[in-house]
Every structure is written in structure tokens, then in C-alpha cells.
A and B are shown apart, each in its own frame.
Chain A
């Protein structure tokens, strides 16, 4: 699959230090297929105009393309267009929820449940909210395999939290959390649930109705789409009762000098001229993924992940973070070679991996580490990519005299 897929991604034909680029940093941001680039370009070349604001042909076409993008993204996760708010990225989606729903509904002493495996963007907004509202935070721990402690989760739910947030796939451990079951339990306890789907949206089929969550966020740039566009799914009843986030043009119904009334959802949450080209590019990314189908994409990524685990385990001195049951990425440390130095030496071989804390400092602290190396996979990666990675890791050991 990936061989033919790779041809659709222009950047994959470039060289780094004279070697073929082996891009294994898709968990940070994925590469983009030509169809996404073409869609953005075509928008600017043929219909660029401001949306929702004109009666002229271009404005009508741009508005239609933008709203069609919303429909496509909505259908992709089995929601409806009024429930999809375009944001800049997942981080903005989480901030939107914490600053509107959170500020309106949390009181002193209320509890927010999170997990220790969250990305900073699903921790910091809640810390901020807790500080401002005098609310409390409880973090579900992981066990030795990097799996969430469900017993502890249930014990936190007994304390009747107001908000429960968790990631579907950890961006460090690759663990796939049982989001449907966790959502059901949280709802039984009366909480509102936000799911971070950043890492899962291009590795699993997502159905928000099936998961049952109240909010779900993701970024376009990790799912083959452009940067600067992401989506927040919110259940319509909740969105309708939430105060606005940013205020200004487009999100209003009527403005007088003394007061304003808000537009219908989702427009109430999209102040100012939106990223029209980005939304169109994101819809093209959805189309691209759907030409293969999410089952096939997931199968490919899972096969690669399993292969990577098997091959990496053969590298002397390697310790892999988390359990074997994972999808999309493998984080590890090498005995005697700090992660940053591993990544630098790999770069010489055209291999792009992430080193550092991957915006998950609490999880690294929990694992007793400052940082790790992460190799992450997408639809366009191949087993050969992993072979190059493994050879380059063996070379790192030579450079360090190990």
C-alpha cells in the first residue's frame, strides 16, 4: 500500500543530507498529499472570497466550499455540521471548551478528571480553569505497561467530577484508550467528556455517536491536512448553551452600540474570517483518507507499528516505553545515548524522528525520564523506512563507541 501512497506526497521525494527522506515524525505533523495542496491552491485560484458576507458569485462559491468542508469533516466522525466548529488546532478546541463551558459551569471545589498521559494542550487549559475557578484536578495514573488504571478512574468518578478529559491514543505510548467505555462510565457519574483525538483521527475510524462523548478535538495537520485548521466536535445542546469564545464579526446575529446577540451554532464559535483554504484542504485530506478507507489505513499503520516494535527490540540497549498493544508510534530510549543525540545522528541518515518530551512532561516524569526518541508512522511509511531507522540506530551505537 505505502509504496504507491508515497508517490502522492511530493515532499517524500526530497533528499536530506543526500539521502532519501525517511519521515518518521508524523505524530508531530503529517506530510500532505498533492490533492490537499491542489485543493488549497484551487480555492485561491478560482473562488477566493470572504465567506458568509457577500451576494456575489465568488463569495457564494467560497461559502459553499467552506460549508461543504464542514459537512465532510462532520460525516467523517459521524456528527452533523452544526456540531463542527473549525478551530486553528486541537489546542484551540480544548481552550474553547475550558474557557466557555468550563468557565460557565465550574464552581469552587468541583473536580476535573484527566490522565497522566495527556499532551500539555490537554492539561494546561484545565490547570488554568482550575486556578481561576478554585476547582480540583485528579490525574488517572498508568500501570507498568503504560495502560490507564481503570480502577483508579472509577474511584475518581465516584467523586462526581464535572468534566472528564482523556486522549484516545497517547502521543508517547501509543496506547489506545477504551474511550467508549470510559465515556459511558463518566456519563453515569454525571460528567461531561472531552476526547483528544489528535493521534487517533488518522489511525482509527472515529464515530462520535458511538463513543458518546460530548466534545472531541483534533488538528488537521496530523491527519494529512494543512496547518492552521482543526475541528472541535461538540454536542449541539451543549454548544447552544455555552457562552461564545472569541467575539467579533461573523459570530453575531445583531449588533447595536450597546449590545449584541449571537449567531446560531457553530457560527457562534467562529469569530472573524475563518481559515477557508485550510478547511477546504482539511476536507481534501478526509477525501484522501477515505479513498483508502479508515480500516485499511488503520490496518497499515498497525502492521507497521508491530513490525517496528519487533525490529526495534533487536537493537541492543534500547528500552521501549509502554506496552506492545499500541498504534502509530514507538517511543524509546537508548542506553548511553541521550535522545537528542540519537535524533541528530539519525538526521544524518535522512531519518526524521522526534526527541524530547513530546509535550508530555508529566508522563515523562512519571516514567522517570526527561525525554525520549519517538518514531511515528503514517499511511505513507513503509517497512523499508523502519529498516533504515533500525540500521541508523545501530550506527548511533557505533558513533558512541558502544
Chain B
């Protein structure tokens, strides 16, 4: 399939569909010490994140959300990737690093979907930092 004539279809690779259908880390961390929730105002996609940080290491993170395949798959892949990482390293990630995790080209109109989970994750970390 040609990239130029079907640019959006390129996003829906098997890996994305897998994460969409069976998201990793879905749910709520019970003894969480960081929480956040946000919606994409344009479309109503919604992500909530709970995380457990110990000694500045992300011990556990879970999300629940309603939304498109891209936002769910992206959040799933992001959470999978950051468990065991230092909070400071997660906060320091730039958008491109998050998009690179997906391994598929995200078209312009869908960047917000792909980055919603990252935005909420950072909000949850900020909440955790604020309580320290």
C-alpha cells in the first residue's frame, strides 16, 4: 500500500491494533500516589492514569480510557515502556520519543490522540511531585 495515497491507513499496523484490542496496563493502580485525567476537547477521547512511584522510580502505572485506537494503543505502549524508569527520565522525554515508540507514522490530525496519554502521564507525575 502506498504511503502517499493512503497515509492514514499506515497507522493501523498489527502492533497498534494489538495494543488497541488488548491494552497493556489497563485499569487502576490501587495504592497509587500519582493520578491524573484529561480529555481531548476536540473529540472527547479520555485518559485517566494512576501511578505508583517509589524512590523516584515508576513501580507501576495503569490507565483507563475511552477513545480511538491511536490514543489507546499509544498509551498502552507508553505505559509498558516506562515501568522501572526514573521519574525524571520520563518527564524529560520529548514528544518524538513517545511517537517513536509507536513505530508507525502518525498523521498530523492524530498527533493529539497519540500524545494524550503522555500528557496525562506527565500530569500524574506532577501531581505526585506536588505531594512529596
Contact = CB atoms under 8 A, between A and B. Distances in A.
Interface of A: 17-19, 337-341, 344-345, 347-348, 355-357, 361, 364, 370-371, 399-401
B29 interface: no
Given A399-B9, A399-B12, 15 more contacts: A17-B4, A17-B7, A18-B4, A337-B69, A339-B43, A340-B43, A340-B110, A344-B8, A344-B11, A344-B110, A345-B8, A355-B43, A370-B45, A371-B44, A400-B17
Interface of B: 4-9, 11-12, 17, 42-46, 66-70, 107, 109-110, 113
Given A355-B43, A356-B42, A357-B43, A340 B113 contact: yes
A17 to B, nearest CB: 5
A19 B66 CA distance: 32
Contact of B6 (A339, A348, A371): A348
B76 to A, nearest CB: 14
A17 B107 contact: no
B67 A340 contact: yes
Nearest to A355: B43
For the residues of A in contact with B, the DSSP-based class is: mixed
Contacts of A340: 43, 45, 67-70, 110, 113
Contacts of A370: 44-46, 66-67
A399 B6 CA distance: 11
Nearest to A349: B6
Nearest to B46: A370
A356 B112 CA distance: 14
A317 to B, nearest CB: 15
7 contacts: A18-B5, A340-B43, A341-B69, A348-B9, A370-B44, A371-B43, A400-B17
Contacts of A357: 43-44
Contacts of A399: 9, 12
Contacts of A348: 5-9
B113 to A, nearest CB: 7
B93 to A, nearest CB: 24
Nearest to B42: A356
A339 B68 contact: yes
B68 A341 contact: yes
A401 B17 CA distance: 9
B110 to A, nearest CB: 6
Contacts of B8: 344-345, 347-348
A371 B71 CA distance: 14
A357 B66 CA distance: 13
Contacts of B11: 344
A364 B43 CA distance: 12
B7 to A, nearest CB: 6
A364 B46 CA distance: 14
Q: Which of B4, B69, B110: most chain A CB closer than 10 A? A: B69
A341 B8 CA distance: 9
Contacts of A17: 4-7
Contacts of A18: 4-5
B1 to A, nearest CB: 9
A33 B3 CA distance: 33
A344 B68 CA distance: 10
Q: Which of B7, B43, B45, B66: most chain A CB closer than 10 A? A: B43
B44 A345 contact: no
Contacts of B68: 338-341
A364 B17 CA distance: 25
A340 B106 CA distance: 13
A341 B109 CA distance: 11
B102 to A, nearest CB: 14
Nearest to B5: A18
Q: Give 8 nearest A-B pairs by CB, closest first.
A: A340-B68, A344-B8, A338-B68, A356-B43, A348-B6, A341-B69, A348-B8, A370-B44
Contact of B44 (A19, A347, A361): A361
A344 B5 contact: no
A333 to B, nearest CB: 12
A385 B45 CA distance: 29
A348 B68 CA distance: 17
Contacts of B42: 356
Contacts of B5: 17-19, 348
